[in-house]
A and B are shown apart, each in its own frame.
Chain A
Amino acid sequence: MFLKDYFNDIAQAVGSLLSGMRRTGYYFTHHKEIITEQYPDNRATLVLPERFRGEVVMPHNGQNEHRCTGCTACELACPNGTIKIVTKFELNAEGKRKKAVDAFVYHLELCTMCNLCIQACPTDAIKMAQSFEHSVYDRSQLTKILNKPESKLQEGVE
């Protein structure tokens, strides 16, 4: 009895190992089912979904105009103090003093990509970009000013 159980155990063990090895053998002979992405080599063809949150950017149109009024809604919505908005006063066409954004400072190193600033923005001035390769040699390079130099507020945005 003991011997029978002993050999039964061995047979079952070998059987279970073989059924596992059959799986391995299947993938060894079916190369098409291997789905490894060759990441740094496939950069040119890599497409990220449009909702992917890589970093905050401020789109500018052809006339170097953005939509940011400097209302600081995003600054208040941010949980980490990632955004700092420096404002200035400008004279508009009628000669009135009007608040405008001087520098939209964005600290990428603090950002957790939670999307709260984008949702808070009343004028859709900022959006998330799909870039994800953020490594730099110096931390100061991660602090960015999102509005381009000499850029203006797009007309009609209040």
Chain B
Amino acid sequence: MVEEIGTTDEGDLIINIGPQHPATHGVLHLVITLNGETVRKVEPHLGYIHRSIEKMCESLSYRQFIYSTSRMDYLSSHINNHCCAMTVEKGLQLEVPERAAVIRILMDELTRIASHVLWWGAMAMDIGAFTPFFHAFREREMINDIMEETCGARLTMNYMVPGGVQFDLHPNFHRRVKAFVKQLRNKLPEYDELVTHNAIFKSRTKGVGILSKEDAISYGCSGPTARASGVDCDIRKTYPYEGYEKLQFEQAMSTDGDTYSRYLVRMVEMRQSLSIIEQLIDNIPEGDFQAKTKAVLKLPKGEFYSRVETARGEFGVYIVSEGGTTPYRIKFRSPGFSNLSALDHTVRGQKIGDLVAIMGSFDLVIPDIDR
């Protein structure tokens, strides 16, 4: 910190945002160097919510470690658990029943919508509109109720287990998901009316915080943040897993790379997820929801990696196994960390007032960055 102050020009102002600040959506600490109103540098300081999850996982068995990944990106906990279960299955060379695979995709897409809906409310709130937050939570509550009924929890479900899913679908699941799809289809135009077409929102986001395609690739951005810059990086399309290759959906893309296009990409993605759910909800195959596994799972010696598309981007799990019941080493590739690293580059030269708008459009979840 002392060195930082030494290298800045005279007249520069250094301010801290966070670690306790509502706009950073968690305990992120940003040290911002300002010249007047113009941002010269943003330096994220991490470590306030480091729980050492990767190290903790080394002492847990292959069934036990999955629960802790719900605590990383808590808004896409299903998808994180899915990736862990997939990696373990890869090691065990276990075939997942068809029904379980469909249930997994359904849950993933519901989670993606829940995450994007929450982001939509929070993004509007960052910019100064408070009402959309409540509209967003109304729809998100429906998904949470569906999850609560089928998985038994609202956020940290631990529903995906090696071999399938923990429980079968609740009898009400079909009806409630249909009601939810209908509701969100009706409300999405309302969202557009409230925020997307709003003149203030447009003028605050259009042309602000442009991230070029080259920069998005070189910083390793993924998910909607990179797709708004024209990088086609949807893992569901490029490296399909668990039957995504059989589904009809478009990769939401834009080429502008500004805050508004990152916003639009997520809005389109919500509609795409809805159409995936519509394709699957009437065609859930009958059968087992869980493959038969041994009581104690042992992965063969070797290295296993698998990746999925979470609501924020590419999430990967890398397991090194020595042949025992616990992993030798686990590494999580979280989308938030790479997206955050592009923040400094994107914000430089912008006004301080736009910083929060740009950060909101990156959709950062701090426990995911700092695990």
Q: Do they bind each other?
A: yes
Whether B166 lies near A119 (C-beta < 8 A) is yes
Q: Are B64 and A77 in contact (CB under 8 A)?
A: yes
Mark interface residues in B132-160 (1 if CB within 8 Å of A CB, else 0).
Answer: 00000010010000001111110010100
Interface residue B68 (Cβ < 8 Å from any Cβ of A): yes
Given A79-B68, A114-B158: A23 in contact with B152 (beta carbons within 8 A): no
Q: Which residues of B contact A48 (CB under 8 A)?
A: 148
Complex partner residue of A19 from B67, B131, B167, B193, CB under 8 angstroms: B193
Among B148, B198, B199, chain A packs the most CB atoms within 10 A around the CB of B199
Q: Contact: B199 with A112, CB < 8 Å?
A: no
CB distance B156 to A112 under 8 Å?
Answer: yes
Chain B neighbourhood of A49, CB < 8 A:
148-149, 152, 170
User: Hey, which chain A residues are within 8 Å of B194, CB to CB?
Assistant: 20, 23
Identity of the chain A residue whose Cβ is nearest the Cβ of B150 in the assembled complex: A51
Q: Output the least CB separation between A147 and chain B (Å).
A: 24
Q: Mark B280-298, 1 if CB is under 8 A from A, else 0.
A: 0000000000000000000
B245 at the interface (CB under 8 A from A): no
Size bracket of the B interface: 20 to 34
Query: Residue-by-residue, is A43-87 near B (CB-CB < 8 Å gives 1, otherwise 0)?
Result: 000001101110000000000000000000000011100000000
Give every chain A residue within 8 A of B158 (Cβ-Cβ): 112, 114-116
Query: Across the interface, do A20 and B193 meet the contact criterion of CB distance under 8 Å?
Result: yes
Q: Give per-residue flags for B87-110: 1 if the beta carbon is below 8 A from chain A beta carbons, else 0.
A: 000000000000000000000000
**Does A13 reach chain B (CB closer than 8 Å)?**
yes
The smallest beta-carbon distance between A9 and chain B, in angstroms, is: 8
What 1/0 flags go to A20-58 for Cβ under 8 Å of B?
101110000000000100000000000011011100000
Give A52 to B148 CA distance when docked, in angstroms: 6
Do B199 and A16 have beta carbons less than 8 Å apart? yes
A113 touching B153 by the CB < 8 A rule? yes
Instruction: For the complex formed, measure the closest distance between the CB of A134 and the CB atoms of chain B, giving whole angstroms.
Output: 14
B250 — which chain A residues lie within 8 A by C-beta?
none
Chain A interface residue number, banded: 20 to 34
Interface centre among B60, B152, B170, B193 (most CB of A within 10 A): B152
- Could you mark each residue 76-109 of chain A with 1 if its beta carbon is under 8 Å from any beta carbon of chain B, else 0? 0111000000000000000000000000000000
Min Cβ gap B129→A in Å is 9
A13: which of B63, B148, B151, B200 is its contact (CB, 8 Å)? B200
How far apart are B175's CB and chain A's nearest CB, in angstroms? 14
In the complex, what residue of chain B is closest to A15 when comparing beta carbons?
B199
Would A17 and B152 count as touching, CB distance under 8 A? Answer: no
Say yes or no: B199 contacts A17, CB within 8 Å: yes
Knowing A12-B199, A35-B138 are in contact, say whether A52-B67 is a contact too (CB < 8 A).
Answer: no
The docked-state distance in angstroms from the alpha carbon of A99 to that of B195 is 65
In contact, A51 and B149 (Cβ under 8 angstroms): yes
CA gap between A24 and B195 in the complex, in Å: 12
Interface membership of B337, Cβ < 8 A: no
For the complex, is B65 an interface residue (Cβ under 8 Å from A)? yes
- Chain A positions near chain B (C-beta within 8 angstroms): 9, 12-13, 16-17, 19-20, 22-24, 35, 48-49, 51-53, 77-79, 112-116, 119, 128
Known: A22-B193, A79-B64; 12 extra A-B contacts, CB below 8 A, are: A13-B199, A16-B199, A48-B148, A49-B149, A49-B152, A51-B150, A77-B63, A78-B64, A112-B156, A113-B153, A113-B156, A116-B64
What are 6 contact pairs spanning A and B, CB under 8 A? A16-B199, A19-B193, A49-B148, A112-B67, A113-B153, A113-B156
Chain B interface (Cβ < 8 Å from any Cβ of A): 60, 63-65, 67-68, 131, 138, 141, 148-153, 156, 158, 166-167, 170, 190, 193-195, 197-200
- Of all A-B residue pairs in the complex, the 6 with the closest CB atoms, nearest first, are A13-B199, A79-B64, A51-B152, A114-B67, A49-B149, A114-B158
